[in-house]
Structure 1
Amino acid sequence: MVAFKGIWTKDFWRAVSAEYVATLIFVLLGVGSTINWHAGKDNPPPADLVLISLCFGLSIATMVQCFGHISGGHINPAVTAAMVVTRKLSLAKALFYVVAQCLGAITGAGILFMVTPAAVRGSFGVNNVNSDISVGHGLLVEIIITFELVFTVFATCDPKRNDLGGSAALAIGLAIPYTGASMNPARSLGPAVITLRFENHWVYWLGPILGGIIAAGLYEYLYCPDPEVKKRLKQVFQKDQSGKYKEVESEDITIKPGSTDMEKTEKKDPYNDTGDVLSSV
């Protein structure tokens, strides 16, 4: 229960509500771009994949720009899972984020369903594995493309980099390739719940979450590890007289900048600091 102490703050609920609103708008705009208003007419043109892809990409970029400073602008359970495995977000807070994202997606899809004429709804943007490929291949595609998306998120939002220019939000938005795929479990959940079509729906949860976790782990621990974290780990896990590593539990150890000397400080309860309720988000 200690992990849930930080939820009784305004900042926390602002962040959770921001994830709800951002996902609502994202799904409303994105799924709305898949509606073919020429359906039912003679010789209707095929769906404009470029239009749909740009709408999804620019919508997510806009939402990140609007809500990034409030909640981190995840708008995607796969991104939230990636933040958890890299210890940038606590598991308790992540649970609230995912619930907010799913509810926002369902609300956005529900609003769009109500205002869209039945004759042009079509598949209503419901994700489904192409009949020409196997479910396993569809899962692999979701893993790979979500890997690319989450790796871009970590690379463009890395505070250790000083070579970045332009808009990180736009880079994240345009990382979505022109495949019409999900890469976002909440985006898939919204239309599926409204239309009650859940065929192979698990693919759009397992694939993106696996891809996001793999991308986050490789970026954070292999390609661009934080040297300060390594130093802290070396000091926290100290060798005893027998040569075995032992965890220091009673006190925190910090390292002075530019020095290898250790300083022992009194342990602080992070959940008592209401000004930092969102970890690193």
Structure 2
Amino acid sequence: MEGKEEDVHVGDNKFSEKQPIGTAAQVQDKDYKEPPLAPFYEPGELSSWSFYRAGIAEFIATFLFLYVTILTVMGFKGEENKCKTVGVQGIAWAFGGMIFALVYCTAGISGGHINPAVTFGLFLARKLSLTRAVFYIVMQCLGAICGAGVVKGFMGDNRYTLYDGGANTISHGYTKGDGLGAEIIGTFVLVYTVFSATDAKRSARDSHVPILAPLPIGFAVFLVHLATIPITGTGINPARSLGAAIIFNKKAAWDDHWIFWVGPFIGAALAAIYHQIVIRAIPFKSSRSIN
């Protein structure tokens, strides 16, 4: 598939712009071959247009994600707003539905990560380089800040502050440990689903898997939100938490903000380890091939 796009000049696409979620390799035949590990550091990517196009795609996707989801949260909290009727289920659908749509739209360009925790998990599994992982995370965070900023522009300072800016906080009655645990498990569910839904071996066996991959990922986000909105408002995405916290910029948003980075990164790391070592047994396959 690479190198067939007419809008990319020869030499500009040296580094694949399809850095798919998980082990994804849009496999063209049924013969499965383990995709090679991405280099730890690839400075040559910095001269490739596809690298920057992927970063822009992550920025726009995260911008749109924050715009729609935070506006939904604002509508739910606004008593005078008809969107009050959406309830927790409506918020969960907004988050899950947007992930489904945005992963579908951007998977062929950047892989559709839209989440630093997802990017971190895939980096640990050597599905993308450190260069690309850092660039993605920066662009995701910038997109999230801009998305939350536009919401504040629409809502105005008074209403935005009154409705807490959609920022993630630990709910009353729950401890920091509860919040951290919820974020770890919730992100594990998401990243494990990402790995499973886009596994190259499954893609080789079942050609429909790459097409359907955004659906289980979005559904996982929906289900995790149903479970953890009452505890943390559901982060499982450090960019989402950072964007809302920066624009809201109140003490309540920063008190436990570390939880919404540490929890998702731990959950993503555990999911990567579980999928690569237990489910796929990659290290054992490598050792057998050496022997």
Q: What's the counterpart of residue 20 of structure 1?
A: 59
Which of the pair is proportionally richer in helix? 2
Question: Which of these residues, 224, 227, 247, is aligned with residue 194 of structure 1?
Answer: 247
Q: What's the counterpart of residue 72 of structure 1?
A: 111
Q: Which amino acid aligns with 2:268?
A: G
Residues 1:38 and 1:78: Cα distance change in structure 2 (over 3 Å):
closer
Residues 1:53 and 1:6: Cα distance change in structure 2 (over 3 Å):
same
Question: What is the CA-CA distance between 1:36 and the residue it aligns to?
Answer: 2.9
Q: Does 1:210 align with 2:266?
A: yes
Computing the radius of gyration from Cα coordinates, the structure with the larger value is 1
Residues 1:132 and 1:158: Cα distance change in structure 2 (over 3 Å):
same
Q: What's the counterpart of residue 217 of structure 2?
A: 172
Residues 1:2 and 1:171: Cα distance change in structure 2 (over 3 Å):
closer
Q: What's the counterpart of residue 94 of structure 1?
A: 133
Deviations 1:129-163 (A, max 9, x none): 11211101110110001100110000100010135
Query: Which structure 1 residue ranges, 5 or more long, are not aligned?
Result: 239-281
Question: Which of these residues, 170, 177, 189, is aligned with residue 136 of structure 1?
Answer: 177
Q: Which amino acid aligns with 1:171?
A: P
**What is the rounded CA distance, in whole Å, between the counterparts of 1:23 and 1:45 in structure 2?**
24
**What is the rounded CA distance, in whole Å, between the counterparts of 1:188 and 1:37 in structure 2?**
18
Which of the pair is proportionally richer in strand? 1
**What is the rounded CA distance, in whole Å, between the counterparts of 1:183 and 1:203 in structure 2?**
10
TM-score, scaled to structure 1: 0.77
Q: What's the counterpart of residue 155 of structure 1?
A: 196
**What is the rounded CA distance, in whole Å, between the counterparts of 1:85 and 1:37 in structure 2?**
37
Q: What's the counterpart of residue 279 of structure 1?
A: none
**What is the rounded CA distance, in whole Å, between the counterparts of 1:80 and 1:231 in structure 2?**
24
Deviations 1:89-141 (A, max 9, x none): 11121111100000000011111111113443211210001121110111011
**What number of residue pairs does the alignment pair up?**
234
**What is the rounded CA distance, in whole Å, between the counterparts of 2:76 and 2:90 in structure 1?**
14
Q: Which amino acid aligns with 1:211?
A: G
Is the 1:139–1:203 Cα contact (8 Å) retained in structure 2? yes
**What is the rounded CA distance, in whole Å, between the counterparts of 1:118 and 1:40 in structure 2?**
17
Once the two structures are superposed, the pairs formed by residues 245-264 of structure 1 within 5 Å of their partners are: none
Is the 2:42–2:131 Cα contact (8 Å) retained in structure 1? yes
**What is the rounded CA distance, in whole Å, between the counterparts of 2:98 and 2:137 in structure 1?**
19
**What is the rounded CA distance, in whole Å, between the counterparts of 2:128 and 2:220 in structure 1?**
23
Residues 1:196 and 1:38: Cα distance change in structure 2 (over 3 Å):
closer
Q: What's the counterpart of residue 276 of structure 1?
A: none
Q: Which amino acid aligns with 2:241?
A: S
Q: What's the counterpart of residue 30 of structure 2?
A: none
Is the 1:151–1:219 Cα contact (8 Å) retained in structure 2? yes
Secondary structure, aligned partner of 2:73: coil
Q: What's the counterpart of residue 8 of structure 2?
A: none
Is the 1:19–1:74 Cα contact (8 Å) retained in structure 2? yes
Query: Which structure 2 residue ranges, 5 or more long, are not aligned?
Result: 1-39
Secondary structure, aligned partner of 1:69: coil
